[in-house]
Chains A and B, each alone.
Chain A
Amino acid sequence: EAQVTQNPRYLITVTGKKLTVTCSQNMNHEYMSWYRQDPGLGLRQIYYSMNVEVTDKGDVPEGYKVSRKEKRNFPLILESPSPNQTSLYFCASSHLTGVFREKLFFGSGTQLSVL
């Protein structure tokens, strides 16, 4: 089954404790991206990757890191989480061919709470 797998589904942590949210896709997609969802703001892009070893900042990259060592994986790293990073996070992927036509496939989301 074609899917984007995100883990964990829920995460509660404390300020300053490094954490990683994993994301993996099995569709051989070139493009992967991370979004955060906050009430009243919709989804905002954090980082994206066009292919292995190619990553770039989105609209709200502060406090986050990513890496793309393999085509299927795109982990999101919070080196020192703060309460303002409490949010619902989504990983998404798509092919790059005909970019504006390509829909994004989303993971099931990670609800992060930073205390």
Chain B
Amino acid sequence: AQKITQTQPGMFVQEKEAVTLDCTYDTSDQSYGLFWYKQPSSGEMIFLIYQGSYDEQNATEGRYSLNFQKARKSANLVISASQLGDSAMYFCAMREEGAQKLVFGQGTRLTINP
């Protein structure tokens, strides 16, 4: 069964520093996708970045990159040069081929300090 684990309930980082949010996953499928979503205090779910299980290069989207280590089953989100607006809850999620759902981790609340 697919499972996502985010072990950091909360993180505090100084503005302009880089931050890594941890995510490990468990699946027996060869085909799957990994996603990161951001949830600001307003509540909406904002898609950040995607990594496919067959993608050989780590995904990048602006200041976001995904450190994908397939053998270790980890998909950590890296935010470079953090900004105050990055303060939010971050969710890691996985979708297996043929599975009819996105499975989410518990989330990490990131706070950026000025």
Contact = CB atoms under 8 A, between A and B. Distances in A.
Nearest to A59: B101
Interface of B: 4, 9, 31-33, 35, 37, 43-45, 47, 50, 52-53, 91, 93, 95-102, 104-107
Given A42-B105, A45-B101, A58-B100, 18 more contacts: A31-B100, A33-B102, A42-B104, A43-B102, A48-B100, A92-B45, A92-B102, A100-B95, A100-B96, A101-B52, A102-B33, A102-B95, A103-B35, A103-B47, A104-B35, A104-B102, A106-B44, A108-B44
Interface in A65-115: 88, 90, 92, 99-106, 108-109, 111
A18 to B, nearest CB: 25
Interface string A1-42: 000000000000000000000000000000101010000111
